[in-house]
Amino acid sequence: MVQNVKQVGPQRYRETFGRYFEDFVVGDVYEHRPGKTVTEYDNHLFTLLTLNTHPMHFDAEFAAASEFKKNLVVSPYTLALLIGMSVTDTSQKAIANLGMDEVKFTAPVFAGDTIYGESEVLEKRESRSRPGQGIVTINTIGKNQRGEVVCTFKRNLLIPARGNAVEDKVGHY
C-alpha cells in the first residue's frame, strides 16, 4: 500500500563519509575509487618534497641505463596514494592511525600507471583503554591498470563508535 506523503519544501542534505566502528565487518572488502593515474610531475614533486635524492626517480638518463629503462615512481608516494584512496572507506572518522605493518612494494610503478586500491577488514576489537572506540585492522592492496599488485600493507586504525566521532559532537561540521 502506497502512502501519500506531502513534501513540505526543499530539503537540506549533508554528505557523510567514513564508517563508525560498528559498521566494519571482518571479511568485508572496500574497493577504493576513483583510481589515480600517476604523472611524472607527481613523482618529481613527491621526490623533491621528501628530499629523496636517488636519481632513479628523476634522472631519465640514469634510469635509462637501469634494468627498468625509465624512472621509477618513488615508493613512499605509492604508499601515500593508497592510504589517501582508502580514507573515505576506512579512516575518514578515525581518531588516529596506530601503525602500519608488512609494507611491501611488489612491482614497480611508472609515470602513466593507474593505481587502484582495495582494503579488507582483517579484525576489529573494542578498545580496552578508550571507551566508545575500537581498533580496526585492514589490509590494503594497490594494483596497476593491468591488475598487477604493486603494494600491500596492513594498517591499524582507532575508530570511534557511533555517537563518539568529532562530527557527532560538533553541530556545524
Please give the single-letter amino acid code of residue 28.
Answer: D
Q: Which DSSP symbol is given to 76?
A: H
Confidence at residue 171, expressed as pLDDT on a 0 to 100 scale: 64
Confidence at residue 173, expressed as pLDDT on a 0 to 100 scale: 55
Q: Which residue has the cell 500500500?
A: 1
Q: Cell numbers at residue 1, please?
A: 500500500
How many C-beta atoms lie closer than 10 Å to residue 21's C-beta?
A: 23
Low-confidence ranges of the chain (pLDDT < 70): 1-5, 13-16, 171-173
Confidence at residue 81, expressed as pLDDT on a 0 to 100 scale: 97
Closest CA to 102 of 138, 136, 57: 138
The model's pTM: 0.85
Domains of the chain: 21-169 (3.10.129.10)
d(CA 129, CA 111): 44
Closest CA to 84 of 32, 162, 121: 32
Confidence at residue 72, expressed as pLDDT on a 0 to 100 scale: 95
Report in angstroms the alpha-carbon separations of 172 from 10, 44, 169.
20, 38, 9
